Amino acid sequence: MSEIDVSKFEKKIELRNIEFEDIEEILELQQICFPGNMEPWEREQLESHLRIFPEGQFCVTYEGKIVGSCSSLRVNFDEYDDKHTWDEITDKGYITNHDPEGFNLYGIEVMVHPEYRRMKIGARLYEARKELAEQKNLKSIILGGRIPNYHKHSKEMTPREYVREVIQHNIYDPVLTFQLMNGFTVMRLNKSYLPDDKQSYAYATLMEWNNVDYIPNKTKKYFKTSEPVRITTIQYMMKTISSFEDFATQVEYYTDVASDQGSDFAVFPELLTTQLLSFCEEKSPSLAIRKLTEFTEQYIELFTNLAVRYNVNIIGGSHFVEEDGDIYNVAYLFRRDGTIDKQYKIHITPNERKWWGITAGDKVQVFDTDCGKVAILICYDIEFPELSRIVTDQGAKIIFTPFCTEDRQGYLRVRYCSQARAIENEIYTAIAGTVGNLSQVENMDIQYAQSGIFTPSDFSFPRDGIVGECHPNIETVVVGDVDLEILRRQRKTGSVNLLRDRRLDLYSVVQKDKSK
């Protein structure tokens, strides 16, 4: 089997600013999102948005098609009545009242194509607004939120009672519930906000999200206080299954867990796809592994869809892949924008070579993500310090290590080396391992793991250099935040400066190009 072209599985999802060429498609999208319920945009209104405040208008495209968009403007909200209407705050939709020096970002529209509403398109648009507010040092984001399910309850409760029930999670409202889940709080209820919004009976909730990094006096130098990245490492249970669908269900469950925690990365363990061998009849280890490679395309398609749908970057553990007759142990990075990268295992253990005939990869890489540069070193690779030094020099701030070890000694080699790499390279590391057993699968008998997230060792970090760790040998996850801004400062002002103090006049680590 030749090398699989992963590009055919990539599903391109992109968040960007709206352009003039997008207007017709956005007008069509609004007709789909709000059929007959509200007056649609006029082309002149959208053109006005782009002329006046282009950086405040966002859209999400999926495979080149616009599936979501949002509009906003800047205001000094203190200058407006709390009981304002949509027409008043937007100057009838033309945003000519936009104030380039305004302290508040005001959201005036969000829409998502009905066929794509379980792909966190709305969440991406809201995150874009939050990032804009942080970049512009704005005090808050304010919006008037529709309550479109109120018409179903209008005979039994007042709008205020309805909002209270939604806040208490007794009633689901597709707009208000979503806004609450995205960190907005209800300030008040406005009557006659949108007269043409029949579903909401023209009511809207005035809501606000506060920028905790806002600095009132903009004449002072602005210091970025935090750049957190949330990681979920998954301690995955290897148990008997009867189909690929069983595997997909287990994997999706943990992806959902990571997404619900607001994670930027979900990290699965090495060799998790060997669980598929529990329903394959082949007993010879070497032949079973070749059988396993037949699931490669299903595996890639599954994780690509999960990354996009749950809006989380996934380190998909590792999987055996056949290329030109050779078997490689490959870890895939499935980005939440639908793109894919992969890292081949560089160092093959004696066990992998003896039982499965695994071939070593030739190049260690660093990958760009929406949370900065990261690297993946599979299990045994983290025990070779040269690789971590190479990826650190190439800009990696986090090293992910999917692992699979059968005893405590093997696990401790991975753990101690991961912690050492974090200290000596002034980076973050995260390890995710398998537990349980596959008693009927040759060479996959027992597992030992205690997954965790590690930091350098200094005053800016947790006392023991541990963000979090799982309990040993149980099926669970650990969730933790690592702050890239603290890492940047540490490299300049830490108690020791291991990267800066290297004696490069005496030694260096260089990656050779075997293709030459």
Query: Active-site residue 379, yes or no?
Result: yes
Taking alpha carbons only, the member of 349, 447, 357, 431 closest to residue 388 is 431
DSSP at 313: E
Sequence length of the chain is 516
- The tokens describing 453, both together, are 């997230």
Q: Identify the active-site residue in 59, 379, 404, 470.
A: 379
Q: Annotated catalytic, 345?
A: yes
Residue 283 annotated to the active site: no
Q: Own/partner pairs for 80-89, CB < 8 Å, 24+ apart? A: 82/187, 82/188, 82/190, 82/206, 83/188, 83/190, 83/191, 84/190, 84/193, 85/190, 85/192, 85/193, 85/194, 85/195, 86/144, 86/193, 86/194, 86/204, 89/144
Element (H, E) at 231: strand 228-238
CB 387 within 8 A of CB 377: yes
The catalytic residue among 10, 59, 120, 270 is 270
Does the CA dihedral 159-160-164-165 come out positive or negative? Answer: negative
- Selection from 316, 175, 328, 198 nearest residue 252 by Cα: 316
DSSP assignments along 153-197, one per residue: TTTTS-HHHHHHHHHTTSS--TTHHHHHHTT-EEEEEETTSSTT-
CA distance linking residue 379 with residue 397, whole number of Å: 18
Q: Which of 120, 139, 342, 345 is catalytic?
A: 345
- Find out whether 458 and 424 touch, Cβ atoms under 8 Å: no
List residues with catalytic annotation.
270, 345, 379
